[in-house]
Amino acid sequence: MPLPAARTPLAELAPSIALGALDGRYRGAVAPLVDHLSEAALNRARLHVEVEWLLHLVEHDVVPGAPGLSAQEQEALRALVVDFDADSIGELKVIEAETVHDVKAIEYFLRGRLVDLLTGSDAESEGGGAEGTSRAEALGQLIHFACTSEDINNTSYALMVQGAVQEVWLPRARALVDQLSAMARELAEVPLLAHTHGQPATPTTMGKELAVLAHRLTRQLRRIEQCAYLGKLNGATGTYGAHVEAVPGADWQQISRSFVEHLGLEWNPLTTQIESHDWQAELYADVARFHRILHNLATDMWTYISLGYFAQVRGQGTVGSSTMPHKVNPIRFENAEANLEVSNALLDVLATTLVTSRLQRDLTDSSMQRNIGSALGHGLLALDNVSRGLSGLDAVPEAMAADLDRNWEVLAEPVQSVMRALAARGVEGMSNPYERLKELTRGRRIGQAELVDFVRGLGLPAEEEERLVALTPATYVGLAPELVAHLDQR
């Protein structure tokens, strides 16, 4: 039977119900991104850029004869950004309903605040009255002066993404890599049966395998940390056309550069109407690569848990199965896999779409960039889940040791390698080592006794024979424990 037709419309309930999981079920894990990548954050960033552009023009006397602003007035204008709140958001919504243009709404909002500042009761005595009105009208002309909307949007998005990555995503990612590195050091000497192609292979240690993943993740973090966040302010087609006509004597390239760098961004000197977004594509590709390695970690940990190498015991008060009481499912790693896949799908489409714009401008980037928050949000949720998953694990060395002890055939590799080295030195009786070990081990299990008998019958020099007889799968780990120390050199 289908759902009843006459049901309560959930879309009409208050408070409003989230459509997506990030703003609903998982809000707590991703809430810090709201301060950077939400629509409200975009408008606050736009307001910040518009205020700073006005102040930049005034401070550098770019338009000769335009009024100045006192230090107190400048502070008051900057306070509009600091104090941007629900009332500001509501007022902007009303203005945008009239302008049907989000950036123009910011311009009108700021102009209204400037009038209030220069003509209201709090205005300086010498700036009030008719003079204040005159100053407000004159300075109001410098709000959004010579700008296209994209001058405001590209710098706003650069600041937003910079803040989201540097203040939210990167700290979480670094913490996770540190957590993984600590596990690697702790388990550096715990022997582990490796599996290549899903088959028993040369033993390693659990710590070394975790260190490999930590090392890979660290390399990607370095790339992400070095990202350049670009911005431009050069008008409707990147030519400074309006700028030059309005104030021919100004060095507009230097003014643009100093402003963009004042915002904490890197200046892009050559653009169309839009900043080219190549830096965004580079960043999203690097983040997606980090996520893919993290996905590899999640699937490996899931497999190690299924093999019994880790027990999920700490902090596991959850229900694993609604019908099987014994189960504790590796849900943190499974949840991470799913969210990493969603995040990367969005990051990939952002990276591939944003680098293309028809001729001097189309609006595909405008819609596309509104998905940056979702892309990083699903990634942030995955980081949280992997971290929580790792925190709930205890290594089970006994299970790893038992698997090693069931697979003595992995010692065929060192035995034949010793034979090859001896044959190369001219020792008799060491011919065809690979083939002889293959005949002993291929397609069947052997135990310690069989391997020892084989080694004793080879006629090896006494020193090599005793060394191989003493070797076990658990001790055949090469330099694995020492390799973990490379994590300390990053």
Question: Does residue 203 sit in helix, strand or coil?
Answer: strand
Q: Give yes or no: 197 in active site.
A: yes
Question: Who contacts 323 (Cβ-Cβ below 8 Å, separation ≥6)?
Answer: none
Do residues 350 and 281 make contact, with C-beta atoms less than 8 angstroms apart?
yes
Q: pLDDT for 378-417, tens place per residue?
A: 999 999 999 999 999 999 999 999 999 999 999 989 988 9
Using DSSP bridges, classify how beta strands 310-312 and 393-395 pair: parallel, antiparallel or unpaired.
Answer: antiparallel
pLDDT value of residue 320: 53
One DSSP character per residue, 93-112 reads HHHHHHH--HHHHHHHHHHH
* CA max distance for the chain: 109
Domains of the chain: 29-140 (1.10.275.10), 149-320+327-396 (1.20.200.10), 407-483 (1.10.40.30)
pLDDT value of residue 490: 64
Q: For residue 321, which phi and psi values (nearest 5 degrees)? A: -145, 145
Rounded distance between C-alpha atoms, residue 149 and residue 172, angstroms: 33
Catalytic pick from 70, 258, 321, 391? 321
**HSE-CB for 342 with a 13 A CA cutoff:** 21
Buried b (16+ CB within 10 A) or exposed e, 412-425: bbbbbebbeebeee
Question: Who contacts 24 (Cβ-Cβ below 8 Å, separation ≥6)?
Answer: 17, 18
Q: In this structure, what is the dihedral angle of CA atoms 112, 115, 116, 118, given to the nearest 10 degrees?
A: 150
What pTM, to 2 d.p., does this model score? 0.92
Catalytic pick from 121, 125, 197, 322? 197
Q: Nearest CA to 409 among 449, 452, 445, 459? A: 445
pLDDT beneath 70: ranges in the chain: 121-128, 314-327, 490
Rounded distance between C-alpha atoms, residue 259 and residue 265, angstroms: 9
From residue 313, give the alpha-carbon distance in Å to each of 178, 305, 354, 383, 393: 21, 11, 45, 20, 6
Average pLDDT, the chain: 93
Rounded distance between C-alpha atoms, residue 334 and residue 337, angstroms: 5
pLDDT value of residue 316: 53
pLDDT value of residue 125: 45
Do residues 208 and 184 make contact, with C-beta atoms less than 8 angstroms apart?
yes
Rounded distance between C-alpha atoms, residue 46 and residue 48, angstroms: 5
Q: Give yes or no: 321 in active site.
A: yes
> How many of the other CB atoms lie within 10 Å of CB of 62?
21
